Structure 1
Amino acid sequence: MKITRILNKIDRRFHPSHIYALQPDHDLLRENRTYREAKDIVLLSYPRSGNTWLRRLLANSILEAQQYPSSIQSDIPFETVVPSIYTQSIKPPCLHRYDEVCHRIVKSHEHRDARKHKTVYLFRNPVDTLVSWHHFVSNSPSLLQQFPWVVDLSIDEFCLNAVDGWAKHIQQTRHYKDILLVEYEHLFQYPHQMLANILDFCRIPRSNIDLDQIIDNQSIRKLKSVTHSQELRKGGVGHGEVELRPSTVTELRQYQQMLNVAWKPQVERSLMTAM
């Protein structure tokens, strides 16, 4: 498939791994990698695929499994229960104690952190993902300083230049042996069933967990009332289409359809297992 390249001089470093490596907390990222453990479970995704919401669902599930009460905003920050390798030290004293409930779950956007690890891979349709990614980069002064040419791109041009990287990120999972593919749209539509499937994959006991209560507490609607972070800008399905030209949506969907040929059967089996 031939994609129209808007800028011949586009900075090829514009990739999630390079972007995060340029952030002020790069020293933390490097230090965290020295504290990785072989039994860690990695929550992997392309940026803006919904992993903050999934991290909140998993963190609340882990806390309930330890008999902590479920709430919208727990006294125990979800970042210390399901940490991001970029922003939260994963040195054991800095994290909530798992107490043998399950192995540690760590969020990353980079395949280098997931290789040889049990992995939950969350992916979202390219239209919503890349529109959200555009807004995230455009509203980050530090990223714009590193990639000033972004301001000269329309949102359509940005998405068309980024979609190839989105597709390649998903394609790299084909070599994984212990991976659960989770489609964000399925998680959004069937949260109870999909969350139960993820918990089982991560071997988190569900006997003390009220999934319906967790899902209600961590609903996008309620979270938006207590957080003003860009991390939960929209959170739904289909919002990206209203911001792009129809021709752009069509081209992005072609990438999704191409990937569906290889990935959809496995994702559908996962959904049927959850149902």
Structure 2
Amino acid sequence: MRIAIISSPRSGNTWVRSVLANSLDLQEIAVHNYLDAPAELPPRCIFQIHWYREPNFQRFLEENHFKSVIIGRHPLDVLLSVLQFIRHEPATSQWLLGNAEIPLDLAGQSPSSDAFTDYALGWGAENLLSVTYQWWHDQRALRVKYEDLVEGSSEKFARLACALAGETPRARLDESLKRFSFKYFQSLPNHHGWAGRAGLWRQLIPTRAARAIYTRHRRLFDVLGYEVPWTWTTRRQATRNWDSLR
């Protein structure tokens, strides 16, 4: 059994990979470029990557008999998590071979800053968010929402494991969820885990900026099924919330 986790960065990919790998006894492989995958793939493995839905990669997945899992997450929460993660992980420059175009001076900025809004409205953010958007159209893939996994971890993961492996190893699954909690990822040297909460963007991104980002990437939001209602969060409030959270 081979499983591929393919989604935009900061969508919960590593969390899902770790839980499924431990639950289903799969060898873990994570690369930035599918060409860097081992020449001889293990018969039981779970493969994590952020990569476009393009013919060569699709052929690679098909020839190696992968089942694909795509994780959808609210794009504004994805961008927030990116902003936090780049402060600790320099390897983010390798996402999509650099096509995420994350400026060096973005690290350390707040979600209420002009620098964050400018990035979120730009081509690099579109590239980053487009990974999940592109794969969401793959009718053969299993599509799950990050928010659903967070709210009902055990039951949602059990359904996912059953769909992938035809079984639900509940005892092993519960142990995996306990082992790979958000506290575990927060303890890693690169602070891979952060808040792990759905809808945090409502408190941290000023409403006008949030609406502008939604308008810029509306097709993506609509296909994934996410909305951006007015929150009336001002820039001052967002900055205060960010400082408090950090």
Given the superposition, is the C-alpha separation of residues 251 and 183 from structure 1 closer, same or farther in structure 2, using an over 3 Å criterion?
farther
Given the superposition, is the C-alpha separation of residues 143 and 251 from structure 1 closer, same or farther in structure 2, using an over 3 Å criterion?
same
Given the superposition, is the C-alpha separation of residues 129 and 40 from structure 1 closer, same or farther in structure 2, using an over 3 Å criterion?
same
> Residue 41 of structure 1: SS of its match in structure 2?
strand
One-letter amino acid matched to 1:213? E
Conserved? CA contact 1:43–1:108, under 8 Å: yes
Within the alignment, does 1:239 sit opposite 2:180 as a pair? no
Pick which of 240-249 and 45-54 moved more: 240-249
Q: 1:111-122 counterparts in 2 under 5 A?
A: 111=52, 112=54, 113-114=57-58, 116=62, 117-122=66-71
Pick which of 84-93 and 180-189 moved more: 84-93
Choose the corresponding residue for 2:105, options 145, 151, 156: 151
Conserved? CA contact 1:56–1:218, under 8 Å: yes
Conserved? CA contact 1:41–1:118, under 8 Å: yes
How far off is 1:180 after superposition? 0.8
Given the superposition, is the C-alpha separation of residues 235 and 61 from structure 1 closer, same or farther in structure 2, using an over 3 Å criterion?
same
One-letter amino acid matched to 2:127? G
What is the aligned partner in structure 2 of residue 68 from structure 1? none
> CA–CA distance in 1 between the matches of 2:184 and 2:129?
32
Q: 1:105-116 counterparts in 2 under 5 A?
A: 105-111=46-52, 112=54, 113-114=57-58, 116=62
Taking structure 1 as the reference length, what is the TM-score of the superposition?
Answer: 0.59
What is the aligned partner in structure 2 of residue 14 from structure 1? none
Within the alignment, does 1:213 sit opposite 2:159 as a pair? no
Task: Kindly provide the CA deviation profile for residues 7-62 of structure 1, in whole angstroms up to 9, marking residues without a partner as x.
Answer: xxxxxxxxxxxxxxxxxxxxxxxxxxxxxxxx743110101111111111112202
Conserved? CA contact 1:138–1:150, under 8 Å: no
Pick which of 150-159 and 187-196 moved more: 150-159
Conserved? CA contact 1:131–1:155, under 8 Å: no
Given the superposition, is the C-alpha separation of residues 44 and 125 from structure 1 closer, same or farther in structure 2, using an over 3 Å criterion?
same
Choose the corresponding residue for 1:129, options 78, 82, 87: 78
Q: 1:78-93 counterparts in 2 under 5 A?
A: 81-86=27-32, 90-91=37-38
> CA–CA distance in 2 between the matches of 1:236 and 1:197?
21
> Residue 154 of structure 1: SS of its match in structure 2?
helix
> CA–CA distance in 1 between the matches of 2:5 and 2:93?
27
Conserved? CA contact 2:86–2:92, under 8 Å: yes
Given the superposition, is the C-alpha separation of residues 241 and 81 from structure 1 closer, same or farther in structure 2, using an over 3 Å criterion?
farther
State how many pairs are aligned: 204
- Segments of 5+ residues of structure 1 without an aligned counterpart are 1-38, 64-79, 265-275
Identity %: 21
Given the superposition, is the C-alpha separation of residues 40 and 59 from structure 1 closer, same or farther in structure 2, using an over 3 Å criterion?
closer
How far off is 1:209 after superposition? 3.8
What is the aligned partner in structure 2 of residue 46 from structure 1? 8
RMSD: 3.7
Task: Kindly provide the CA deviation profile for residues 205-251 of structure 1, in whole angstroms up to 9, marking residues without a partner as x.
Answer: 33474433322222213443x42323213322233443322212223
One-letter amino acid matched to 1:151? D
Taking structure 2 as the reference length, what is the TM-score of the superposition?
Answer: 0.65
> Residue 151 of structure 1: SS of its match in structure 2?
helix
How far off is 1:194 after superposition? 1.6
> CA–CA distance in 2 between the matches of 1:85 and 1:189?
28
Conserved? CA contact 2:31–2:37, under 8 Å: yes
- Segments of 5+ residues of structure 2 without an aligned counterpart are 107-113, 226-246
> Residue 105 of structure 1: SS of its match in structure 2?
strand
How far off is 1:119 after superposition? 0.9
One-letter amino acid matched to 1:51? N
